[in-house]
Amino acid sequence: MITERNRASFDTKGLAEHLNGGREKLKRLGELADLLHQQDWGNKSQRYYLNRQDTYEGALKAALGIWDLIRKKVITMEDAMEARKLVDFPGGLELHIGMFIPTLLSQASPDQQAEWLPKALGLKLIGTYAQTELGHGTFVRGLQTTATYDPQSQEFVIHTPTLAATKWWPGGLGKTSTHVVAMARLFIKGKDYGPHSFVVPIRDMATHLPLPGIKVGDIGPKFGYNGVDNGFLSFNHVRVARENMLMRFSKVTEDGKYVPPPPSNQKASYATMVYVRATIVEGAGWALARSVTIAVRYAAVRRQTAAHAGELEVQVLDYQNTAADLLPLLAASYALIFMGKAGMAMYTEFEQDRDRGNFEKLPELHAVLSGMKAVSTTIASDGMEAARRACGGHGYSLLSGLPTTFTHYVQNVTWEGDNNVMLLQTARYLVKQLLAARAGKASGVGSADYTNNAEAELRQRCAVASSRDWLDPALQSAAFRHRSARLCVAVTDLLASASGGKVAFEGPAWNSNTVDLIRLARAHCYFVLHSTFADSVQRLSDEGTLPAPTIAALSKLVSLFALSTISREAGDLLEDGYMSGQQVEWARRQYYGVLRALRPDAVGLADAFGLSDYLLNSALGRADGDVYRALLAAAQASPLNTTEEGPAWDGVLKPLLKPRARL
């Protein structure tokens, strides 16, 4: 491992500091890891052996442990955010912290905040956010839970009219939360005002038993994330006071008059989504980085096959196919982290514009980050599983850290907007931009500006004239841009012809072309992802933020991201003649060349994520490379090994084998 580290062409520690927000921040992460490791609830040595109940309890204790460290002023609130990630033990308080409190902050009136916020912040009540229903997810307007206003008692009657309307999924709902913010359709005098938010107490504060009319419980074990008690909830005509509807924006008066929200509300909620999705994109990069760190380190330690018995076997990282499995994932991790940081910067920029009343950039930002949420979480999920498989048998062991990292993460392709739905939002935006441009209206800004002259773009041809040319980020970017423009024109024409000229954004014609629409959105996101990565590295170079060898290594990653993608998806660029067979062949040869060039930097680029052994909790991914000793030690600690004869000896095996003389 030391040999591998010495091969790196750049200062890995410097890059780790940059990615993690500076030298002090990285140092603090190390101190926090040491501190957490010493806490009962932060010690991860038993983590992979816990059953469901212990996982649930352990996760709660970890969250409360962090809370306690803040209270005792051992750590700051900012530390606590990092500590949650380092302890990596999501539990019953996730949505209290992540949704219940933020919803009160954004949607409750000042009076309501005065009532509930201190209790929520002091953990005197625990809340969650109940929107999704058993049979209704994505389509919020299709939710069936009702909140009917009774002007007599000035109460809302919250009710679950059908089995499929049972609330389903909210984290912490099962056994932890005492309150929920429930999304329900507001009815006043028989009229449906659509989904609104209501604070509903669901458990008795003295006994923690469900209140009358409430049926609540845990939805059962899941692929991962089992520390969280995702729950179900149904209401049987449960009454709450009028004041329990969150009334910062829309209101219901005592006599049952509905006051609609101001129109700017919609934009504010889009802005929140933009913020959340930028976080998800960077998070995708870090999640993938974690699996890739483990896999790259193990591929440097692991050896497989020698020409002759007795010879030292070959490091698996020296097989081209292993390098091709892992190094593009390394590049993707970097691309996503830089994309997330850029997305956050764009959000900050937008906030400044917004404060000047300028919402101009919001639609583009929202549209791109919707699709980017989908693309980033898919790249991360698929990449994590690919990294796991690249570790052979040991990747199948929980002790490698790889299976649980994946199973915890992969829900990201579904929650916060199903990935297909997200991509269709991006596609809708792009098609609209193209239609506007064709109608002669001012159109595409930012990444979608190709819609302004898409027809001209169709006539462009790839300018690469040698294998070396493919190392030019501008020529790489041109290819991604061309693909996106071509697919945009193609699917827009399809939609128009499917509905007699006028494009409809829902209904049968739309639903019958979603494959091509998703293909367009994905292509657009790859275009943005690549160009943002290339631009970020260029800026770091121009500003002298990082030394030249580091920039050189990052530039190779930009090329690797581009060329591995173009090689794999060459058909998209060959189909209309943009690229020739020779140009694809050059791209592939250059791709293999970059793999070779990056081989000495592989472990260094993994190290540069700066992920601690504490975070990784992986026998395979240890920084010191002493994997086999670690695997054996961890295995011996497994509960099945508590006794030498094992749990089935007395009850099952002994009666069968009937003790007799040794064979």
Binding to a second copy, residues 292-331 (CB under 8 A): 302-307, 309-310, 313-314, 318-322, 324
CA dist., res. 389 & res. 395, Å (int): 6
CA dist., res. 210 & res. 22, Å (int): 48
Nearer to a second copy, 459 or 662 (CB): 662
**C-alpha to C-alpha distances, 33 to 40, 79, 356, 398, nearest whole angstrom:** 13, 11, 42, 21
Interface residue with a second copy, options 5, 25, 37, 222 (CB under 8 A): 222
- Judged by CB under 8 A, does residue 500 bind a second copy? no
CA dist., res. 30 & res. 28, Å (int): 5
- Judged by CB under 8 A, does residue 621 bind a second copy? no
Nearer to a second copy, 228 or 551 (CB): 228
Nearer to a second copy, 25 or 239 (CB): 239
- Judged by CB under 8 A, does residue 217 bind a second copy? yes
Nearer to a second copy, 50 or 273 (CB): 50
Cβ–Cβ < 8 Å for 171, 146:
no
Question: Which residues sit opposite 167 in a β-bridge?
Answer: 133, 233
Nearer to a second copy, 57 or 613 (CB): 57
**C-alpha to C-alpha distances, 43 to 90, 228, 405, 634, nearest whole angstrom:** 14, 18, 17, 14
Interface residue with a second copy, options 137, 213, 256, 261 (CB under 8 A): 137
- Judged by CB under 8 A, does residue 218 bind a second copy? yes
Residue 543 known to be catalytic: no
Interface residue with a second copy, options 7, 18, 119, 361 (CB under 8 A): 119
- Only segment of 120-128, 260-268, 366-374, 463-471 that touches a second copy (CB under 8 A): 120-128
Other Cβ atoms within 10 Å of 26 Cβ, number: 17
Q: In angstroms, what is the minimal distance from the CB of 300 to a second copy? A: 14
CA dist., res. 327 & res. 596, Å (int): 10
Contacts with a second copy, 30-49, as mask; x by CB under 8 A: ------------------xx
Q: Phi/psi at 453 (nearest 5 deg)?
A: -140, 50
CA dist., res. 247 & res. 197, Å (int): 9
Nearer to a second copy, 174 or 604 (CB): 174
Angle of the 548-568 helix axis to the 473-498 helix axis, nearest 10 = 30
Q: Mapping DSSP to helix (H, G, I), strand (E, B) and coil, where does residue 462 land?
A: coil
Please identify which of the residues 57, 115, 243, 416 carries the catalytic annotation. Answer: 416
Q: Show contacts with a second copy in window 320-379 (CB under 8 A).
A: 320-322, 324
Other Cβ atoms within 10 Å of 455 Cβ, number: 11
Q: In angstroms, what is the minimal distance from the CB of 268 to a second copy? A: 22
- Judged by CB under 8 A, does residue 264 bind a second copy? no
HEC-encoded secondary structure of 112-148: HHHHHHHHHHCCCCCEEEECCECCECCCHHHCCCEEE
Q: Show contacts with a second copy in window 437-496 (CB under 8 A).
A: none
- Do strands 167-168 and 231-235 pair parallel, antiparallel, or not at all (unpaired)? antiparallel
Nearer to a second copy, 2 or 307 (CB): 307
Closest CA to 374 of 334, 332, 417: 417
Interface residue with a second copy, options 371, 403, 417, 473 (CB under 8 A): 403
Q: Show contacts with a second copy in window 535-574 (CB under 8 A).
A: 569-574
Q: Which two tokens stand for residue 110?
A: 């000042």
Q: Show contacts with a second copy in window 503-542 (CB under 8 A).
A: 506-507, 511-515, 518
Interface residue with a second copy, options 36, 97, 125, 181 (CB under 8 A): 125
- Only segment of 266-274, 352-360, 446-454, 633-641 that touches a second copy (CB under 8 A): 633-641
Q: Show contacts with a second copy in window 57-86 (CB under 8 A).
A: 57, 60-61, 64
Task: State the catalytic residues.
Answer: 416
